Amino acid sequence: MTDQNTSRVAVITGASRGLGETLARFLAGQGYHLILNARGGAALDNVIRSLDGYDVEVKAVAGDVAEPSTRRAIAQLARTLGGVDLLINNASILGASPLVPLANHPLDSLEKLFRVNVIAPLALIQELLPSLKAHSGLVVNISSDAAQGGYETWGGYGSTKAALDLISKTLASELEPDGVSVVSVDPGEMRTALYQEADPSADISGLPTPDITLPFWAWLFGQEHAAINGGRYQAQAEQWEAVNETR
């Protein structure tokens, strides 16, 4: 087993399927010890079993990351592994499904959207911040083109991602003196369960799987954190540029 004291540790929320599962497999291949979180314990266990062949520690925290107890459990596991080098806030919910116009969006559903998609990522950053500072860590907040598009019926979900983008850019400025870098990433349209939930009758078979983003992740994690800090990246763009937007 790789020495935990010399290896990197990554926390991934929403890791039981889709992009989160893809990232877990990619980072395990890069030698990261993993703390994986998702609401579905059985699906999360399946992902962990699929990573048995990697020479890394893989720990699970099943539960809603919007709950303080779940975030505390993640932080406790992080301490046992020596801290956190990388936090990927990937967990999201869509809200009303099928999607509805923002003018008709149930307000209780909208409140839950913001609690899961905005408050929970920020709260987890706060929970892990001492460790992220100690490790000069990187935070990746998963965004969406809906944050900027103004697409019909996507207003609830999109507004949460727009808020998360602003949180990411603000934290990048605030935490730069502490050595913590923060970026947001729009992974692009992919064939995922979340995208299907937006319109259950839509045929999404022509969309790429999350594996299409792997070249981007290899590039991003190979950059100096200070160079990418504050950036908003599109994973399916033809090319990427590392520019510190907090300067």
- At residue 165, what is the residue type? D
Q: Residue 142 in 3-state DSSP? A: strand
* Contact between 246 and 231 (Cβ < 8 Å): no
Residues carrying an active site annotation: 143-144, 157, 161
The conformational region for residue 142 under phi > 0 = left, psi -120 to 50 = alpha, else beta, is: beta
Q: CA torsion sign, 93 to 97 to 101 to 106?
A: negative
Q: At how many degrees (to 10) do helices 120-134 and 155-175 cross?
A: 20
Dmax (CA) of the chain:
54
